[in-house]
Chains A and B, each alone.
Chain A
Amino acid sequence: MNRLCAIALLLLGCGPAINTTAFSHRFPDNQPEDLAPVLAATRAARPPALRNASGQPLIVATTQREEDHERRLLALRPSGEELWSVPFDAATRPEVLGDVIMTSTRSEVVALDLADGHVLWRRDSESLAYVGASRSGDTILYVLSVGAAGGATRVGRLHAVDARTGRKRWGYEIAGVLGRPEAYGGYVFVPWDRQNIAILEVATGIERARLRSTDDVIAWVRSHPSGVYYGSRGIYHFDERSASGVKGESTYRPPPIPDAPRDPMVEDDAFFPMPGSRSARGRIRIYFEPEGVEDGSIRVVGDRFYYIYYRYVFAFDSSDRIVWARMLPGDILRADVVPRGLVTLSENGELRLLDAASGGDIWTGGHEASLASADLDLGSFDPGGEPAEAAGLETALAEIIGDPDNRLVAARAYAVELLARRPNPAITQLLLDLYAQRAVPGAVKEAIANALRVRTTGTEHLVAALDQHYDYLDETPVPPLDLLVPALLEQRKTEAVSGLVGHMLDHETPAAVLPLVIRGIVELGDASVVPPLRDFLVLYHADSTFSEAPQALAMAAEGIYRHGGDEGRALLQALGAEGKTIAPLRAAIGGIFEREAQEAEAAARAEAEAEAAAAAEAARRAQASRPGRLSQAQINEVFVARTDALRACVEQELERNPRLGQIRFVFILDSQGVPSEFRFAPNTSEFVACVQPIVTALRFPPIRERRQRATFTVNLRARSRAPEPSEPRDRFWWSRAQRRAEQAGASEVGRPWWEVRQAAAPSQPTRPPEDAGSTEDDTPWWMQEDSNAGDSSDSNAGDSSDSSAGDSSDSSAGDSNASDSDEQPWWLPAE
């Protein structure tokens, strides 16, 4: 309804009220051309060093409510001079904006005159939280918002009003959260929804540009004389690169002091009101003063980031190296970076200027009062003077660690980390001393323990600390063995063994830490620790001391087992077998040997598995190295080795059958090269009986394939059939096949099949070409002097084998020999 009214009013020309020309979700963000005029204006801006109209450093503060004292708002000079003081119950921290002080009560936004503190105007805060204001010329821009912390209601209102009268000039309401605005160069930068910055022209209230971060949160915008900065934990400089909308392409400084506890902000979160009464908010913060950008990097005044944790101040350089630390008497309410260092205002009104280089006090002042909140407008405040000598960094950190204020444990633990990073060996002893203090809380002790574990200097102090033993009269406590032993173990300090043995044998060593001590002996020691471990174990093995918590004895047994060799094993076995040995120790010793057995078993299993794997690998390799199938030459080679035996059988068969022209064996080879399933041609019983024992005993090379069909053929009479020149070569295989079929059909009836097949088969005799003419020679080829049995069988066996066997589907090795023929087998397609 409000929007409708606003639109109606605008249409009617009733002047600016609620505007709709900003914060639209359709407004383009990160547009360089939109940002350009804004950048030009901000670069041209020359803001004064001080925000207040008096031209002098000024502090505006609220006081704490105390008995018989109402809360007040007061304006001070740094010297402590009170300019004025008025009763005022501020709900939020006052802000100095020129000649006006802006703050709020529970229900109103209030502007007071800087000159005397009287109220200039009040405006209803509309049940929203006042989160802050900024000023541009005579316009004050303030934001009311709710919902930043979550919840269903998210409302943000931006109002532009006359600074002195509060008369409204323009305003916006959005269904989102707005943060404290920042006016600069005629524009107001309004963070909203923690991701955007709407940049509005102050004069018109029209949004001119928008920034949106796509990979970060925007929690604040602040202007400094060197420009506009924004960010969350990290710091962005507002420039042309801001249009990228991403960290990597913006002028960006990652969060300083990244390991500081409680994730401190570098500015107050703009989306939350800063309380006007005492609160933890803002007590943990990083302060810095940007002084521009150089080589793409944001530079800060004095090269310092100041991390404040209540009353501790840690100063770091821009490389996040600590430079100094201070513990101030009171909690710091507010601080401000000035060229010479850091000005701190404590809750008791004390103002200090700490030297940027050393942390020493350059100046102290202030106004004795119990302050609740304050705004410092100090500009380049410099009261002069030289810094007082400050305690060294290590001393200051030690002082912070030893501070009894247990509210600040996290910072004290952080001081431990900072101190432990220093290489000074004496720090190790210092940390040990701090650890021994009873008042040091557990978190700090834990930090010390962690720090000592990784310290590499001064470790001799860890060893030396073992020399201390409990003494009631001297009030000497047991050294912090729970701290020392892990650190000694971490750093493998073998020289600590004797000290640890001393504590093992000392009855004053607490039972709770004794297993750790013995573990240290076992881990760091060698065979030399066996005698004391043995004495310890033997002395207590039947005693009730460790019957409830036998870990120490178990660890001693472990040490003896590990370092004691056979003698140690024998001792353990004897103790384990003794009836008087306490049951838990017996169980522990049993466990050691059980573990040993399991380990041996596992080792044996692993060895067997390794052997099996090796054998499998060897087999795999052997398998891989085998041929897939044997070539005819390889098959022939095996037969040739038994030529003499076969010849006898063949000669006998020739005697029985002088016309025998060929013998042929067809068989199956398995993967191991064992032949089987022989078929013989001729298959006369005499011949078969003769050759079968010979050929079944043959062993061929293994093959990869599971089985291979193989043949071996011997042409007993060499034949030659020179191609007739006039005979036309059939172009196609089927032509050749038909011709051969005709020839086969014309063959003489009653001739052996192999002769018929031989005639039909195109295989060539293997005789050398020069013998081609002696076709009628009846002498078997192997009996001819110049014959070569291997070659002969090799060259033609396969060709004929398949045909003779009648198994045309087989593609045995011999098939490849067909290409040697001057005529292709009839069953094969022509080339």
Chain B
Amino acid sequence: MLRQVTTMALAAALMGTVTAAAQRGRGRRAPVDPEQPRVSLRDLDRIVPKLQSPNPDEVREAIDLLSVIDRPEVVPPLAELLRAGQPDAITDRALEALRGLAAPESIEVLTEFLHHRRVAARRRAYQALAAIDDPRIPRLLERGLRDSDRSVRGAAALALGEIGARQSLDILFRAFERGVVEAAIAIGKLGDAAAIERYGEFLGREPLGVMLSGYREFLGRRDIPHDSKKAIVERLGEVAGVMVRRFLGEYLASLPERTRNRQIRELKVLLQETIARIPEEATGTRVAPATEQGGAS
């Protein structure tokens, strides 16, 4: 139970960071904040020397200014800064800056930081890579699934799901098999109808909350056939339980009230029937608070 709670909380936390990054758009620069100081590439020569300052505040300011410039030309000075070895806060800020830049030019230095001994640095490096639109990225993110640190593995799994790395589905299943709970969400985002069936094999082996986080992704996708969605609902109906009932109820609520789509209507009917079959109260099964909130959302 403790494991379940921990994994779900972790997944939720990671989801937040990755989703925030994703919201900024993969391969797109961060939107310009009107409150930010106005600097341009012309100021590069003035800002870069500040990176060498012994004053950490000045270095941080320089990093922020380079982020505002938001051009690939700022990557080399940031890379040089990172390679020169910095206190944790500076390193993390520089990695965040590279994440915001989302420039393929930073892949090399970010790849180096995938082997940094500090977990937070590795995790930020993976998240920064996930923001870059480049064909090399999925393979790099897959490395994270092999990391000894669970938060890094989770970040990598979520990132693979975010970038739509369908070619990584197999390795995500392996990771899921090895206990990387975040892979459930990625699988839910990337898997096809066949993957749903494969995913379903984990039902009963993995915590229900984790499984529901993957099913939520499957059910929310438009590219998944309705028959497959029905199969999911029916499969969950077999599992039953308060958590499933709530999950299906929330899913039902997310569907349009009125629709001409026959398949959606049939799906709603199926949902209603399934929910009706599941008792409202728990029958002596204790459910952890984290999972009560709807699984690994």
- Quick one: given A472-B153, A579-B54, are A542 and B117 in contact (CB under 8 Å)? no
Contact of B37 with A by CB under 8 A: no
- Quick one: given A540-B117, A545-B118, are A473 and B87 in contact (CB under 8 Å)? no
The interface residues of chain A lying within 8 Å CB-to-CB of B175 are 473
- Quick one: given A470-B148, A472-B146, are A543 and B115 in contact (CB under 8 Å)? no
Contacting residue for B88 out of A475, A506, A539, A544, CB 8 A: A544
Contacting residue for B87 out of A471, A474, A539, A543, CB 8 A: A543
Contact B145 A543 (CB under 8 A): no
Residue of B nearest to A538 (CB): B85
Contacting residue for B116 out of A475, A507, A541, CB 8 A: A507
Contact B122 A507 (CB under 8 A): yes
Contact of B147 with A by CB under 8 A: yes
Contacting residue for B115 out of A474, A505, A538, A545, CB 8 A: A505
Chain B nearest CB, measured from A562 CB (Å): 21
Please report which residues of chain A, range 198-250, place their CB below 8 angstroms from some CB of chain B when the two chains form the complex: none
Contact A473 B85 (CB under 8 A): no
Contact of B178 with A by CB under 8 A: yes
Contact B86 A473 (CB under 8 A): no
Contact A473 B171 (CB under 8 A): yes
Residue of A nearest to B114 (CB): A507
Contact A507 B83 (CB under 8 A): no
Chain A nearest CB, measured from B150 CB (Å): 9
Chain B nearest CB, measured from A476 CB (Å): 9
The tally of residues in A whose CB lies under 8 Å from a CB in B reads 24
- Cα(A538)–Cα(B86), bound, Å: 9
Contact of A126 with B by CB under 8 A: no
Contact B115 A507 (CB under 8 A): yes
Contact B85 A541 (CB under 8 A): yes
Contact count band on B:
20 to 34
Residue of B nearest to A541 (CB): B85
Contacting residue for B118 out of A474, A535, A544, A578, CB 8 A: A544
Contact A473 B117 (CB under 8 A): no
Residue of A nearest to B86 (CB): A542
Contact of B274 with A by CB under 8 A: no
Contact B85 A506 (CB under 8 A): no
Please report which residues of chain A, range 480-520, place their CB below 8 angstroms from some CB of chain B when the two chains form the complex: 505-508, 511
Overall SS of chain B's interface: loop
Residue of A nearest to B91 (CB): A543
Contacts between chains A and B (CB distance < 8 A), count: 59
Contact of B84 with A by CB under 8 A: yes
Please report which residues of chain B, range 104-137, place their CB below 8 angstroms from some CB of chain A when the two chains form the complex: 115-118, 122
Chain B nearest CB, measured from A588 CB (Å): 15
- Cα(A505)–Cα(B178), bound, Å: 25
Contact of B174 with A by CB under 8 A: yes
The interface residues of chain A lying within 8 Å CB-to-CB of B88 are 543-544
The interface residues of chain A lying within 8 Å CB-to-CB of B115 are 505-507
- Cα(A505)–Cα(B153), bound, Å: 19
Contact A507 B146 (CB under 8 A): no
Chain B nearest CB, measured from A426 CB (Å): 29
Chain B nearest CB, measured from A601 CB (Å): 32
Chain B nearest CB, measured from A543 CB (Å): 6
- Quick one: given A507-B116, A545-B117, are A472 and B145 in contact (CB under 8 Å)? yes
- Cα(A539)–Cα(B122), bound, Å: 13
Contact of A421 with B by CB under 8 A: no
- Cα(A537)–Cα(B84), bound, Å: 10
The interface residues of chain B lying within 8 Å CB-to-CB of A578 are 54
Contact of A580 with B by CB under 8 A: yes
Chain A nearest CB, measured from B102 CB (Å): 23
The interface residues of chain A lying within 8 Å CB-to-CB of B178 are 472-473, 475
Contact B148 A539 (CB under 8 A): no
Chain A nearest CB, measured from B176 CB (Å): 11
Residue of A nearest to B178 (CB): A473
Contact B117 A474 (CB under 8 A): no
Contacting residue for A508 out of B56, B84, B148, B171, CB 8 A: B148
The interface residues of chain B lying within 8 Å CB-to-CB of A508 are 147-148
The interface residues of chain A lying within 8 Å CB-to-CB of B171 are 473
Contacting residue for A473 out of B56, B83, B91, B174, CB 8 A: B174
Most buried by A among B56, B85, B86, B146: B85
- Cα(A541)–Cα(B116), bound, Å: 13
The interface residues of chain B lying within 8 Å CB-to-CB of A473 are 145-146, 171, 174-175, 178
- Cα(A330)–Cα(B247), bound, Å: 58
The interface residues of chain B lying within 8 Å CB-to-CB of A544 are 87-88, 118
The interface residues of chain B lying within 8 Å CB-to-CB of A537 are 85
- Cα(A505)–Cα(B117), bound, Å: 9
Please report which residues of chain A, range 661-691, place their CB below 8 angstroms from some CB of chain B when the two chains form the complex: none
Q: C-beta contact mask, A584-628 vs B, less than 8 Å → 1, else 0?
A: 000000000000000000000000000000000000000000000
The interface residues of chain B lying within 8 Å CB-to-CB of A506 are 115
Residue of B nearest to A478 (CB): B148
- Cα(A537)–Cα(B117), bound, Å: 12
Chain A nearest CB, measured from B160 CB (Å): 13
Residue of A nearest to B142 (CB): A473
- Quick one: given A473-B178, A507-B115, A580-B54, are A539 and B85 in contact (CB under 8 Å)? yes
The interface residues of chain A lying within 8 Å CB-to-CB of B122 are 507
Contact B147 A472 (CB under 8 A): yes
Top 6 nearest A-B pairs (CB, nearest first) are: A507-B117, A538-B85, A471-B146, A545-B117, A541-B85, A507-B115
Q: A473-B171, A507-B115 are in contact. List 20 more A-B contacts (CB 8 A).
A: A470-B148, A472-B146, A472-B153, A473-B145, A473-B146, A474-B146, A506-B115, A508-B148, A511-B117, A535-B83, A538-B84, A540-B85, A540-B117, A542-B90, A543-B88, A543-B118, A544-B87, A544-B88, A545-B117, A579-B54
B interface residues, Cβ below 8 angstroms from A: 54, 56, 83-88, 90-91, 115-118, 122, 145-148, 153, 171, 174-175, 178
